[in-house]
Amino acid sequence: MPRQKFIAGNWKMYTTLEQARELARSVAAGVDAETARRLRVAVCPPFPWLLPVGEVLRNTPVALGAQDCHYEREGAFTGQVSPYMLREAGCQYVIIGHSERRHGLQESDEFLNKKLHGALRAGLHVIFCIGELLSEREAGQTESVLLRQLQNGLAGLTAEQAAALTIAYEPVWAIGTGRVATEEQAQQAHAFIRAQIAERFGSTAADSITIQYGGSVKPENAAGLLRQPDVDGCLVGGASLKADSFLAIVRAAL
């Protein structure tokens, strides 16, 4: 059975409250029942807009996700958000390990692994991001970087948990830069990731796991990327902030 495509929008630290509501309304209006039957669609707004956007998305095929979480259920962690709070707010998904947190906020593989386990305990579906810097790609280190991030980041998972995971391959040099990995580069990285999942968790998990591409995805390049056999969807940044461009990527996945 072919894997279902998954298109998720990461709104990052953008939108006003009214812009967020209107964007959610427009995205939901563009995802009909037939589209929802064939693929998954989610949006991940900033924390303050989760509840109002969740209200807009209620009873629609579009799922709600968050951009990060802490690993504990509760505690004295000022400024942090628990995965259980996200569940109560209506989230089905959470992004963990985005490069803007790995490199901008220096979050380690081990710290991200704790977040991953915390999110899974709370019953959230995790979009776990990995990817190499430009200097690492130019030094021929892409696969060794991905291997380290997978080994450390997914430590302690069962095969069943791995099978239900979404991995987002995001070459850091392509995020927000306008550059994009070629279709061949994306496929090569995705095939490597799937092979590592098979080696660590077995062929069933590797066949089931969703591997998205992220990094300057636009309507113009989405179709070519999504045609690759190991590219199961896209984690969309800037292009998810306009409903027409995001929905064009959704249509490309069909």
Query: What dihedral angle (degrees, nearest 10) is formed by the CA atoms of 155, 174, 132, 119?
Result: -10
The response to whether 131 counts as a known ligand-binding position is no
Q: CA-CA distance, 177 to 238, in Å (whole number)?
A: 10
Which secondary structure element, helix H or strand E, spans residue 207, and what is its range? helix 203-208
Is residue 98 part of the annotated active site? The answer reads yes
The response to whether 11 counts as a known ligand-binding position is yes
Is residue 136 part of the annotated active site? The answer reads no
Please report where in the chains the tokens 């939108």 appear, as a residue. Answer: 15
Q: CA-CA distance, 93 to 73, in Å (whole number)?
A: 16
How many helices (H) and strands (E) are present in the chain, helices listed first? 13, 8
Q: How many CA atoms lie within 13 A of 108 on its CB side?
A: 4
The response to whether 176 counts as a known ligand-binding position is yes
Q: CA-CA distance, 169 to 191, in Å (whole number)?
A: 11
Q: Which of 98, 117, 125, 190 is catalytic?
A: 98
Give the other-Cβ count within 10 Å of 248's Cβ. Answer: 17
Q: Which of 100, 117, 170, 190 is catalytic?
A: 170
The response to whether 113 counts as a known ligand-binding position is no
The response to whether 237 counts as a known ligand-binding position is yes
Q: Are 30 and 60 spatial neighbours (Cβ–Cβ below 8 Å)?
A: no
Residue numbers belonging to the annotated binding site: 10-12, 176, 216, 237-238
Catalytic positions: 98, 170
Residue numbers belonging to the annotated binding site for substrate: 10-12, 176, 216, 237-238
